[in-house]
């Protein structure tokens, strides 16, 4: 937001030659879903800046009402083709918590492995197909692959390993069918797990090379102040579960989240804006890494240290452009975590515990590739959904994205060419890997009840 | 010879079907040697106006803007293929077509509902323009996609596979979950194409590939009832991912004593 000091500056500069810029990007490319950017600059002032999200709402929270608990995982997956597992895992935890069910340690571990597949797939896709063309000066990855064939191929291969890991537990990588309340429908057999371990082992050096490479990219230097929010877990890097913490000292159980988080609606967007205790905040890979450096396994921490030595990259980082590095770190982490857990694999007595419905409310929170994903369901005694509420990462980041655009464009220089300003805006937005398909479908049913 | 031009368009959807392209892996690069992708926003290609040989369309139509856009796309595309349940039957979001609920929901959800312009129904592409081929599935898989492109490159229409899932189970030697566990499986009325993924994972099919040829929904509803499902639960089986496909919609509403969905819940 332009503060009073800047307004003063604008007034002083009014007698200089006036410059007006209007930049309208009607359809942002290389993001999930459909959004537009509208920017109006007069001289030294940003008069209007909107990340408009105009995807039509798909009303998932309403569709869930009246459906059985056993259908939820198949329904919520359809919110997002890139992170269906995040939706399934947050929902499964909410269901189990509402019914007082404890899944067995095998299922607990394997859900983490399953989820690692999604991080690997989603981050590899984002880095290579969505983000890298910005840093290397191409329109898209297909064009980029002519100059960087090895790197693009490596990225697509890592993405493929992530997809294979998801399919091991879910039969397919988009809207997998293997997870259920209580655990999984089926446990993979040993030979399939052995094959997967071999794939992960082969991918590991590639992930190390990727991390080393992204640290050497020409990433803009742009430090800023923001609040990071993520899950935190006493024993491991947060992924499947944990408490919600922030860089401002917040430390709450997932159940308490909605007491601190407010969502509101703005005319230019079908997504809601979330604030934490009144402030915009960041969720996603950079926030997670900033808050959980201590939880990185030694091998990953050491590789990160070597990769960043002699570069401008350090963590914790206040530079949003380091998000791409955080994603590469989490790719390596996902491979190592999957390997650690699969090397101890055994076939369980049963892949799922029986889940018995009862009336009540349950909350589930997990770390989607793009950040904290929070679900709450209220059930009747038959296990039918009475009401559902879902808060996806992108609507949490939306206020932060606009705040970032305001200050990044100023730092970048409003006197830059229209084309340069447009490109910089898009790069800033892509740092957040916004998932617009996710963002539009969630809506706070509390809102209308206010006078 | 110049490469055939291809476009990938998105309407109301989860982006999952487009991933059939982006999940091709290194084969994605091979594909781009054979066709030239002109428009595909997620992949960074932004050229919605060029005339193309093949347009792939994901998502259902749910706003006026989308309605106008699909007309333009049809006019400039030689072959138009709907990909996935959203584009082909309306998808999960077509659940809203079943009741007079859309405006109520908008009111309930948004503080300023007047800013949200959506049509009352979410509808498949074929309700608005001619669709040359349909690829069913939620999501479609990369094999379906590559097979369709390959056929078109050879100048032959893609093969229509509307056999039932049960046949695929037999082919895959999957154990029938309905016979062995009494699980209410939608396989008998669902089109093949996924490889019988759910039964092979020991669970019921929930019909994400839509209706197969001549689905005997009455017989299946009766069977579900025999397995102990109450009318509401039978209706929910039919009314999920492809609730707007006529065979499923009719069977679902028929199962409900009130003939109305959503059922009142308090
Ligand atoms: S058909 Fe399914 S996978 Fe495809 S876009 Fe629609 S919801 Fe997503
Ligand atoms: S078995 Fe049925 S629900 Fe499962 S993937 Fe195949 S068509 Fe979809």
Q: Which residue has the higher pLDDT, A151 or A55?
A: A151
Half-sphere exposure of B1 (CA within 13 A, CB side): 7
State residue A276's pLDDT score. Answer: 86
Tell me how far apart the alpha carbons of residues A76 and A63 are, in angstroms, rounded to a whole number.
10
Tell me how far apart the alpha carbons of residues B136 and B111 are, in angstroms, rounded to a whole number.
36
Cβ of residue A451 closer than 8 Å to a chain B Cβ: no
Q: Which residue has the higher pLDDT, A424 or A441?
A: A424
For A270, B70, B115, the CA distances from B66, given in Å and listed in that order, are 15, 6, 16
> For B207-251, what is each residue's pLDDT tens digit?
999 999 999 999 999 999 999 999 999 999 999 999 999 999 999
State residue B105's pLDDT score. Answer: 53
Q: How confident is the model at residue A27 (pLDDT cuts 50, 70, 90)?
A: low
Q: State the average pLDDT over residues A227-236.
A: 97
State residue B146's pLDDT score. Answer: 93
Tell me how far apart the alpha carbons of residues A258 and A283 are, in angstroms, rounded to a whole number.
15
Q: Residue A369: which domain range?
A: 4-450
Q: How many domains does chain A have?
A: 1
Q: State the average pLDDT over residues A265-280.
A: 73
- The CATH number that applies at residue A205 is 1.10.645.10
Residue A15: pLDDT above 50?
Answer: no
ipTM of this complex prediction, to 2 decimal places: 0.94
Q: State the average pLDDT over residues A253-262.
A: 91
Q: How confident is the model at residue A422 (pLDDT cuts 50, 70, 90)?
A: confident
Domains and CATH numbers, chain B: 5-153 (3.40.50.700), 165-255 (no CATH)
Which ligand sits nearest to residue B84's alpha carbon?
Answer: 1
Please, which residues have CB within 8 angstroms of residue A421's CB and are 6 or more apart in sequence?
A21, A23, A39, A41, A409, A412, A414
Q: How confident is the model at residue A241 (pLDDT cuts 50, 70, 90)?
A: very high
> For A161-214, what is each residue's pLDDT tens digit?
999 999 999 999 999 999 999 999 999 999 999 999 999 999 999 999 999 999
Cβ of residue B112 closer than 8 Å to a chain A Cβ: yes
Cβ of residue B37 closer than 8 Å to a chain A Cβ: yes
Question: In terms of DSSP bridges, do strands A261-265 and A371-379 run parallel, antiparallel, or are they unpaired?
Answer: unpaired
State residue A59's pLDDT score. Answer: 77
Query: Who among B66, B115, B236 is closest to A67 (CB)?
Result: B236
**DSSP H helical ranges for A221-380:** 257-260, 285-291, 298-308, 323-343
**Ligand 1 centroid distance, CA of A414 (Å):** 40
For A154, A197, A202, A245, A331, the CA distances from A205, given in Å and listed in that order, are 11, 14, 7, 32, 11
Residue A9: pLDDT above 50?
Answer: no
Is B192 a pocket residue for ligand 2 (Cβ < 6 Å)? no
Please, are residues A14 and B26 in contact by the beta-carbon 8 Å criterion? no
Backbone φ/ψ region at A286: left (φ over 0), alpha (ψ -120 to 50), beta? alpha
State residue A29's pLDDT score. Answer: 66
Tell me how far apart the alpha carbons of residues B108 and B103 are, in angstroms, rounded to a whole number.
9
**Ligand 1 centroid distance, CA of A431 (Å):** 25
State residue B1's pLDDT score. Answer: 59
| Residue in the block written with tokens 């792939």 | B56
Residue A284: pLDDT above 80?
Answer: yes
Q: How confident is the model at residue A271 (pLDDT cuts 50, 70, 90)?
A: low
In this structure, what token pair is assigned to residue A370?
């793009």
In this structure, what token pair is assigned to residue A381?
């005694």
Shortest alpha-carbon distance between residue B4 and chain A (Å): 16
State residue B136's pLDDT score. Answer: 97
Tell me how far apart the alpha carbons of residues B140 and B135 are, in angstroms, rounded to a whole number.
7
In this structure, what token pair is assigned to residue A95?
């269901």
**Ligand 1 centroid distance, CA of A75 (Å):** 11
Q: How confident is the model at residue A126 (pLDDT cuts 50, 70, 90)?
A: very high
Residues of chain B with pLDDT under 50: 109-110, 264-266
State residue A325's pLDDT score. Answer: 98
Torsion sign (Cα): A139, A144, A147, A151: positive
Q: What's the pTM? A: 0.92
Please, are residues B21 and B85 in contact by the beta-carbon 8 Å criterion? no
| Residue in the block written with tokens 């916004």 | A434
Scanning A141-160 for CB atoms below 8 A from B yields: 141-142, 145, 152-153, 156-157, 159-160
């Amino acid at each position: 937001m332009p503060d009073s000091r800047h307004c003063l500056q604008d007034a002083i500069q009014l007698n200089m030659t006036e410059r007006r810029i209007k930049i309208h990007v009607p359809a942002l490319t290389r993001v999930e879903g459909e959004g537009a950017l509208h920017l109006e600059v007069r001289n030294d002032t940003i008069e209007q800046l909107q990340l408009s999200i105009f995807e039509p709402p798909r009303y998932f929270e309403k569709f869930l009402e009246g459906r059985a608990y056993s259908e939820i995982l198949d329904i919520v997956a359809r919110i997002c083709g890139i992170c269906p597992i995040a939706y399934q895992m947050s929902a499964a935890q909410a269901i189990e918590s509402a019914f007082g069910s404890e899944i067995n340690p095998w299922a607990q571990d394997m859900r983490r492995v399953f989820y690692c597949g999604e991080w690997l797939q989603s981050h590899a896709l984002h880095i290579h197909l969505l983000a890298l063309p910005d840093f290397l000066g191409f329109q898209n990855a297909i064009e980029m692959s002519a100059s960087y064939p090895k790197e693009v191929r490596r990225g697509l291969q890592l993405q493929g390993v992530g997809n294979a890991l998801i399919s091991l537990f879910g039969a397919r990588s988009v809207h997998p069918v293997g997870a259920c309340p209580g655990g999984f429908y089926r446990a993979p057999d040993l030979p399939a797990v052995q094959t997967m371990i071999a794939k992960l082992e082969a991918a590991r050096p590639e992930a190390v090379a990727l991390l080393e490479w992204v640290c050497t990219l020409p990433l803009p230097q742009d430090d800023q102040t923001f609040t990071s929010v993520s899950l935190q877990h006493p024993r491991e890097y947060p992924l499947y579960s944990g408490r919600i913490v922030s860089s401002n000292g917040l430390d709450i159980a997932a159940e308490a989240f909605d007491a601190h988080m407010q969502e509101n609606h703005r005319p230019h967007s079908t997504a809601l804006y979330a604030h934490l205790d009144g402030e915009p905040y960041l969720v996603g890979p950079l926030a997670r890494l900033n808050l959980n450096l201590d939880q990185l396994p030694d091998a990953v921490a050491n590789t990160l240290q070597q990769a960043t030595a002699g570069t401008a990259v350090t963590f914790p980082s206040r530079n949003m452009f380091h998000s791409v590095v955080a994603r590469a770190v989490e790719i390596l982490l996902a491979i190592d975590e999957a390997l650690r857990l699969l090397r101890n694999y055994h076939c369980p007595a049963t892949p799922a515990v029986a889940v018995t419905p009862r009336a009540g409310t349950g909350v589930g929170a997990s770390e989607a590739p793009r950040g904290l994903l929070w679900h709450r369901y209220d059930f009747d005694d038959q296990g039918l959904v009475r009401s559902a509420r879902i808060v996806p990462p992108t609507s949490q980041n939306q206020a932060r994205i606009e705040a970032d655009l305001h200050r990044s464009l100023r730092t970048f220089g409003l006197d830059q060419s229209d084309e340069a300003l447009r490109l910089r805006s898009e790069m800033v937005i892509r740092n957040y890997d916004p998932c617009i398909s996710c963002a539009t479908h969630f809506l706070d049913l509390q809102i209308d009840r206010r006078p | 010879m110049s490469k055939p031009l291809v476009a990938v368009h998105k309407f109301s959807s989860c982006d999952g079907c487009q991933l059939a392209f982006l999940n091709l892996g290194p084969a994605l690069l091979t594909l781009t040697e054979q066709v030239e992708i002109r428009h595909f926003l997620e992949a960074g290609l932004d050229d919605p106006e060029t005339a193309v040989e093949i347009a792939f369309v994901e998502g259902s139509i749910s706003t006026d803007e989308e309605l106008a856009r699909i007309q333009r796309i049809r006019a400039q595309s030689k072959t138009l293929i709907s990909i996935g349940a959203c584009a082909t039957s309306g998808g999960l979001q077509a659940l809203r077509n079943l009741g007079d609920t859309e405006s109520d929901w908008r009111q309930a959800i948004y503080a300023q509902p007047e800013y949200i312009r959506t049509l009352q129904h979410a509808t498949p592409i074929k309700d608005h323009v001619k669709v040359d081929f349909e690829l069913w599935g939620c999501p479609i898989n990369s094999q379906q996609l590559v097979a369709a492109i390959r056929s078109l490159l050879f100048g032959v229409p893609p093969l229509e596979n509307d056999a039932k899932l049960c046949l695929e189970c037999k082919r895959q030697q999957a154990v029938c979950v309905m016979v062995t566990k009494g699980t209410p499986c939608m396989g008998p009325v669902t089109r093949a194409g996924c490889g019988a993924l759910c039964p092979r994972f020991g669970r019921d099919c929930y019909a994400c590939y839509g209706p197969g040829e001549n689905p005997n929904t009455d017989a299946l509803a009766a069977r579900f009832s025999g397995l102990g499902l109450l009318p509401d639960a039978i209706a929910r089986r039919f009314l999920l991912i492809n609730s707007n496909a006529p065979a499923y919609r009719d069977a679902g509403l028929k199962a409900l004593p009130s003939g109305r969905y959503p059922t009142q819940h308090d």
